[in-house]
Amino acid sequence: MQLPGTLIEGKYEILGKIREGGMGTIYRVRHRLLDEIRVVKVLKPQALSNEEMKRRFIEEARTATRLKHPNIGTIHDFALDEEGKAYLVMEFIDGVNLADLLKRQGPPGIALSLEVAHQSLLALGYLHRKNVVHRDIAPDNLMLSQDEERKPVVKLIDLGIAKTLDRPGEMTSTGVFLGKLKYASPEQFGSLPAGEKLDGRCDLYALGVVLYELLTGVHPFVGESPSELLRAHLFDPPLAFSRTDPDGKVPPEVREALGKALQKRREDPSSSVFLIPMTWTTRPRSSRSCEGLAPPPPSRHRASRTGSTGSSSPPPRLTLRGIRCCALSAKRRRKSSVRHASPRRARPRSTHNL
């Protein structure tokens, strides 16, 4: 166990342990020369127990350090010595992961949930255009922070099992499971036909599961054991919103969109056209914000590029940018109906706009 005050390579001073997992321990550190707070993940010896695993670690780390996006936690550096000791140096994010957020206060509300989904999709779109699949999208790998204007900022973290699609040869065979059972897509359980590979659609399925949980506080698939969860992902439909959202807080458009996101077969045509006739370019100018949240750049949402393994792009399961549009549209319709149903009171004219 590394104690506070211990130095890593003479330049990273350990300030304290953040948490410990199956693959390693994460510490909060200070870069002594730059005087910056960062995070170091020290891998356990068994995580790199043979030469193949060491080779994979180096390749994965090299890929991760080249990924630069405002919604992805930056990996600054990595090391692997002759004794097999390895660590990653990552950006320190002053925030909370979504798993802890759900435990502390429950579902965060529709507006924030869809903003989380939108920014997460921006991160995934960037990864998939770089031919990288995350494969471990889950609430504890999505950090929620805020910028200087106190607007929400989402960061996708833990690229430790991210896989580059364009390298020759498979780094992980279809039969080897990586990821979290509760959020894994059916194809991650080995259901892919021979010759096909995992692509970005497995990340989009997992993001759909996360969004369902953020909106309702309930996981869409029921299973008390790993085998039951596996069966639910492979064969069972997600829990009906009539059970998990009896008050109807989740707009119908979002319900329909999530149903399409959680299709079992990634080739299903209903998962390739993900609802949403509206786009940011066609919405009225006055509705292009959500409680101070800025609209997404129009070039960032092209989910048709996600997960490409060849010359043609596979159909997307998800365009969550459109879900956000539909949620806001439904919210405006509800407010409009209330306004028309109630008598209008005369308001004094303000001189601030004259």
- Token duo for residue 136: 């471990």
Q: What is the mean pLDDT of residues 347-354?
A: 38
Greater model confidence, 236 or 338: 236
d(CA 28, CA 19): 10
pTM, entire model: 0.73
Greater model confidence, 197 or 212: 212
DSSP per residue, 2-40 = PPTT-EETTTEEEEEEEEE-SSEEEEEEEETTTTEEEEE
pLDDT at 4 over 90: no
- 74, 232, 238 from 261: Cα distances, Å: 28, 15, 10
Of the candidate ranges 7-16, 149-158, 195-204, 280-289, the one whose mean pLDDT is the lowest: 280-289
β-strand 86-91 against 96-97: which pairing, if any? unpaired
d(CA 84, CA 50): 9
> What 3-state class would DSSP assign to 305?
helix
Instruction: List residues bridging with 87 in a β-sheet.
Output: 42, 79
Domains of the chain: 8-91 (3.30.200.20), 96-332 (1.10.510.10)
d(CA 72, CA 103): 23
Torsion angles phi and psi, residue 79, rounded to 5? -150, 150
pLDDT at 343 over 80: no
Query: Residues 67-88: pLDDT tens digits?
Result: 999 999 999 999 988 777 889 9
Of the candidate ranges 21-35, 92-106, 168-182, the one whose mean pLDDT is the lowest: 168-182
d(CA 170, CA 163): 9
Q: Which residues are catalytic?
A: 136
Contact 85, 168 (CB under 8 A): no
| CB-based contacts of 47, cutoff 8 Å, min separation 6 | 23, 24, 53, 57, 86
Instruction: List residues bridging with 17 in a β-sheet.
Output: 27
d(CA 209, CA 234): 14
| Residue 279 identity | T
Predicted local distance difference test score (pLDDT) of residue 55: 86
d(CA 263, CA 244): 18
Greater model confidence, 69 or 200: 69
d(CA 146, CA 44): 32
Query: Residues 242-275: pLDDT tens digits?
Result: 999 999 999 998 898 898 889 887 665 443 333 3
Of the candidate ranges 155-169, 191-205, 206-220, the one whose mean pLDDT is the lowest: 155-169
Contact 31, 38 (CB under 8 A): yes
Percentage, residues of the chain above pLDDT 90: 40
